[in-house]
A and B are shown apart, each in its own frame.
Chain A
Amino acid sequence: MPDARAAILSRLRASRDAHPMETVASDFTVLKEKRCSPAERLERIKQMMEAVHTEFIDASDQDWPTVVQAFLAKEGVRTLLYAPATEAGGRLASGWGEGGPELVRYDRTVDEFKEEMFTAIDAGITTTLGAIADTGSLVLWPSADEPRLLSLVPHMHVALLKADALYDTFWQVMTENRWAQGMPTNALLISGPSKTADIEQTLAYGVHGPKRLVVVVIK
């Protein structure tokens, strides 16, 4: 409603000009000071995320596809949705042995297989841009190659975390990497499996999103 726009903005402008507000400069020192050593970062991330039921497994840059496959097989996962066009997706597929969960390619739009995604996929695997020690959060920038629903619809989300991509705070991630110069369609922090405390403040996991979050730390 163009009339509403003009009316609202002119009211706001008149009020502000009649009574300008005093401001104080925002001092971000408190966030800048939240620092810990690289070794402490991983410990803290694990501790915070495990407190909200995140699971961690260790792997190396060489063996992570087989580690993931063995873990999923052991957990009885039958289908794994993955992003074939990413570098990690390519390595996953080429390193995938016989007998493990079936790999399902996320290589078409969701509209073409929505029902299958909601009803027939056990797990989804994504990369991450890193993790944050202050809050115990994974940082994800989904993309055309690695779509958003990979980390949301499957009952289990497997996330690959490089052990050298750790940050102290959310603020540090976005300022050091100059997020303000170009945000993606969707940026996410994920700090555990889906949860709720809406029934008498009793914590329950897996309400709408993944029931399990498994972080594969690649050293």
Chain B
Amino acid sequence: MAPTDVNFGRASRTALKDQQLRANFRRAMDGLMSKRAVQFADPKEWHAMRALGASVRVRALSKLPELLEQLEANCTRNGITVHWASTTDEANAIVLKIMQDVNAKLAVKGKSMVSEEMHLNAFLEKHGIESLEADLGEYIVQLDHEMPSHIIMPAIHKNTKQIAHLFREKIKEAEYTEDVAQLTDLARRVLRKKFMNADVGISGVNAAVAETGTLCLVENEGNGRMVTTVPSVHIAVMGLEKVVEKLEDVPPVLSLLTRSATAQPITTYVNMITSPRKEGEKDGPREIHLVILDNGRSKIYADEELRHTLRCIRCGACMNHCPVYTRVGGHAFEAPYPGPIGSILVPQMEGLGKRGELPHACTMCNACVEICPVKIPIVEIMGRLRQEAVHPGDAVKDAGACASMAEALIWKGWAVMNSSPTTYRFATTIAAKLGNAAPASLPLLKEWTSVRSKPRFAGRTLHDLAREKGIPDA
């Protein structure tokens, strides 16, 4: 495998040893799973909603280029300026230019996974602009210079005590308290000053409606409304797959999203933005900019199987139900998107050279596929990516980067062994006689035995025993 600085194997081994982290995740994921199950307790309703949600997303993808053009035309007509970026570098440059044009010094940000893809905060800070996360969870991880460990609940890896210490250490006016209401109120006081003084508000987009040029955002805290209403400039960043065709497509998508994500029938706020402040209006931003980001998505779209990755509405339910994610947590993935969706999305965005391990961070148990509200065949795509990783080709960036001569030889040998009765009989006899004598530390065998006991070979093969019972060879 190509040398890289990310290493899921190493990071997950470290995470597994952290008992506090494992307890925090186990507790949180158990709670989320049982609450979600209550939301979808009626199987008939669940199947119908899910079929509707999947049909909306597939229809949007089937007309993606036209819908993006329609979205752009309608947004432009409504007074929203639309920008296009092929890469995260381009997107960052666009955001910076908008900010420099208004001489912005402080940006407040609502939760946006695309901005995590862009590493936007770090980029802006490098250019002398403070970019402050306003979602409480994102604010917590930003204070601790971390990345979110979950796409919906960014600070889920921390418990109250850890957050209490962090606040006392990092916030000037903080007194130590483990009372969640007091900690929340402290963040309210700090951030309200920032909302009041920010020059620019940055948000993501949960769904962009081509038919009307409307940007939809869901949230519970009110920070999303603050950043899109108080500062005089609002910049929204979205992945190009976030478009839906019609306004009436929004209710099913948002219902599936909020019920799957946090088991809420709907979030506290659904915020639908169609234009900047109009003549005579007394508040709202005077400028709205929409940045449509590709960052590998059009490449994903090129393959008719892999493009279904783009159906995703970012509810995070797949992580909540994933036995791997629950045990290692989000940080082990070292990516903006962890868990099952991350394991198929990130390798396609960043390439299999760097991220070839991720499709293997999966037991193929299918739990994610069963609860995905838009029916993404996650596990099939996972298998496909494992294949792409060892076969050079064009479908995925750096396809074939994980190919190893030794592995290829072993499979070749396996194929030869199984293709004639003579070689098969010979090999199984040898394994039965000598298998137990092979030391666990043999190369390749070691990979298995380092974390498991070495299996014991039976002294006689199954064929041998069957023959003895009088069952003839075929």
Spell out A's residues near B (CB within 8 Å): 1-2, 4-5, 7-9, 11-16, 18-31, 48, 52, 106-111, 114-115, 118, 134-137, 143-144, 147-149, 152-153, 169-171, 174-175, 179-180, 183-202, 204-210
Contact = CB atoms under 8 A, between A and B. Distances in A.
Contact of A134 (B221, B247, B265): B265
B48 A30 contact: yes
B36 to A, nearest CB: 13
B123 interface: no
B181 interface: yes
Nearest to A108: B282
Contact of B266 (A153, A179, A189): A189
The 3 residue pairs across chains A and B that have the minimum distance between CB atoms: A209-B222, A198-B137, A30-B48
Contact of B251 (A8, A111, A170, A185): A170
Nearest to A172: B251
A180 B266 contact: no
Given A24-B55, A188-B272, A194-B222, A15 B298 contact: yes
A137 B266 contact: yes
A148 B274 CA distance: 13
A22 B212 CA distance: 25
B172 to A, nearest CB: 19
A90 B58 CA distance: 49
Looking at chain B's contact residues, is the secondary structure mostly helix, strand, loop, or mixed? helix
Nearest to B222: A209
A19 B304 contact: yes
B271 interface: yes
B444 to A, nearest CB: 39
A41 B250 CA distance: 22
B146 to A, nearest CB: 14
16 contacts: A4-B85, A28-B252, A30-B48, A110-B282, A110-B283, A136-B265, A143-B281, A148-B225, A149-B230, A170-B266, A180-B246, A185-B274, A193-B268, A198-B136, A199-B136, A199-B163
Nearest to A178: B247
Interface of B: 24, 28, 31, 45, 48-49, 51-52, 55-56, 58-59, 61-62, 64-65, 68-69, 83-86, 90, 94, 134-137, 140, 153-156, 158-160, 163, 180-181, 183-185, 187-188, 191-192, 195-196, 211-212, 214, 220-223, 225-226, 229-230, 232, 240, 246-252, 254-255, 262, 265-278, 280-284, 292, 294, 298-299, 301-304, 307
Contacts of A15: 298, 301-302, 307
Nearest to B240: A8
A136 B345 CA distance: 35
A25 B55 contact: yes
Contact of B192 (A2, A5, A31, A208): A208
Nearest to A181: B212
Contacts of A206: 184-185, 188
Contact of B274 (A107, A115, A183, A197): A183
Given A12-B298, A27-B52, A194-B268, A207 B188 contact: yes
Nearest to A188: B271
Contacts of A30: 45, 48-49, 52
Given A110-B283, A170-B251, A194-B222, A1 B90 contact: yes
Contacts of B86: 1, 4, 7-8
B64 A175 contact: no
Contacts of B248: 28, 171, 174-175, 180
